[in-house]
Every structure is written in structure tokens, then in C-alpha cells.
Amino acid sequence: MTQSDLTDMFSEGGGLPETLPGDPMPLLRAWLDEATEAARTPNPNAMTLCTATPDGRPSARVLLCKAIEVDPGYLIFYTNSRSRKGEEMEANPRVAAVFHWDEPGRQARIEGRVVRSPDSESDAYFASRHWTSRLGAWASDQSAPIGSRAAMLEKVTQAVIKLDLDLGALLDGGEVNIPRPAHWFGYRIWVDRAELWSGGTGRIHDRAVWTRSLGEGDAPETGAWSATRLQP
């Protein structure tokens, strides 16, 4: 075997471009779009979100990434602001998130700061959800204890009564107005560190990290990205 055969062998698999792009966000979005198109799993937009208390106790759970805005560079997800993660994010807006696409062997790691989406955006997304999910958002005090499954289902019935919904119309598929609960929001993760990882032969994966500065506030100023290839 020649040196060139060895190099060829370890070059197998779709890695990162030899010259790293200046901005990782278009590549991240392309990876998500590709995974969505390939539809190898029911939720290719699933990501694990890690939050942490101000004293550094971390917690993680799976969420759906509903959009990636390449410019200016944030990801959007939706949740209940009174949930465990919601309270942690209020106290400490620094978060990390990870996507894993087993086929074609890719991982994307994101770090940044969360900011609530504008109400109009949360309203529009909430209105697009199936009525069962909209009702569920009213019924569930997400992350709070409940005595039994039956008690939870009773809370769903109570939400129908509280919202004065026409159950017949809902079950017949009619359109019924269910407003967004005040504690249910979109969150934007303004990214200041993104790592893209592509699996390779013999664990010689291809990794690169991009970092940039992020200012304060809800629409932070962002610095230029800087890219660095990492050893696997």
C-alpha cells in the first residue's frame, strides 16, 4: 500500500470543504435541509438543548429546531417559559445545543445566548400548530408535578372549558381560535460558537469550529466569524 492509498482510504466520507467557509450558518442550514429532505428519521430537526442554572448545574432535553436564520445567525425553538428549561434560561441565557444525524454521520454543536422571539412571531407559529398541540400548551404546566395521568387528562378537559371551545367543531375539523398562552414563546439562540463534525474512517473525523463575538440585548451586534479546523 502506498502513502497515497492510505490517504485515499482515510479521505472517504463527505467531510468539510478543504477551505473552510467564513460563516458556518449556511453549511449548518444545508445539513439540516439535507437531513429533512432525506427524512431518515421522523424528526431530523431534533436537537438536544442544554441549559444550566446560574451556579452551573446543567440539564438537557430534546427539542425541535423550527428554523435557522443564517443571517444574522440564530436558531428558533418553541417552549413554555415556566418549564424547567424556561426558568433556567431566564436566569442564565447561555445555552448549548447538539444535532446528530447518524446517516450521513454528522454532528453540529451550537453555543450561544437565548432571546425571546417577538410576540408576533410566536403568535404566527402557535396559530400554525394543530389544535391538539395548541390545547396541550394550555393544559400543561410543563415540568410541574401531577398526581396521575387521569389528572393530566382532566386538565385537558378543563382547558377546553376555560377557553370556551366548541368541542364539536374541533372534532369535526373546524377552525377554532385558540390563542397563544402568555407563557409560551419562541426562543432564538444567537450563535457565537458552532462546530461542524463529519465522521471519517478510523475515527479521523473532520471537525471545525467557528466563533464570533456577540453583543448585548435582543438583537445583538455580531462580530466576524473566525474558523479553525480541529483534530478529531
User: Which are the catalytic amino acids?
Assistant: 203
Least separation in angstroms between residue 43's CB and ligand FMN is 5
- State residue 185 phi and psi, 5-degree precision: -140, 165
Find the part of the chain contacting ligand FMN (CB under 6 A) among 60-68, 97-105, 128-136, 201-209.
Answer: 60-68
Report DSSP letters for 67-86, one per residue: EEETTTTEEEEEEETTSHHH
Q: Is 99 in the site for ligand FMN (CB under 6 A)?
A: no
CA dist 45 and 58 (Å) reads: 22
Binding of residue 61 to ligand FMN (CB under 6 A): yes
185 binds ligand FMN (CB under 6 A): no
**Residue (of 41, 42, 51) closest to 77 by Cα position:** 51
Binds ligand FMN by CB under 6 A, chosen from 29, 46, 160, 193: 46
The interface region with ligand FMN, picked from 57-65, 92-100, 198-206, 212-220 by CB under 6 A, is 57-65
Regarding 155 and contact with ligand FMN (CB under 6 A), the answer is no
Should residue 64 be labelled a site residue for ligand FMN when binding is judged by CB under 6 A?
Answer: yes
Which window, 12-20, 61-69, 160-168, 193-201, contacts ligand FMN (CB under 6 A)? Answer: 61-69
Contact between 128 and ligand FMN per CB under 6 A: no
The answer to whether the CB of 61 falls within 8 A of the CB of 48 is: yes
Q: Which is nearer to ligand FMN, 46 or 214 (CB)?
A: 46
Count CA atoms within 13 Å of residue 19 on its CB side: 1
Our finding on whether 77 is near ligand FMN (CB under 6 A) is: yes
Asked if residue 77 lies in contact with residue 63, where contact means CB atoms within 8 angstroms, the answer is yes
Of 15, 35, 83, 207, the residue at the interface with ligand FMN (CB under 6 A) is: 83
Q: How many residues bind ligand FMN (CB under 6 A)?
A: 16
Q: Please give the Cα distance from 82 to 63 (Å, whole number).
A: 16
| Distance separating alpha carbons of residues 196 and 99, to the nearest angstrom | 10
Q: CA–CA distance from 208 to each of 47, 107, 145, 205 (Å)? A: 19, 11, 41, 10
- 70 binding ligand FMN? (CB under 6 A): no
Judged by the rule CB under 6 A, the positions of this chain that interact with ligand FMN are 43, 46, 59, 61-64, 77-80, 83-85, 142-143
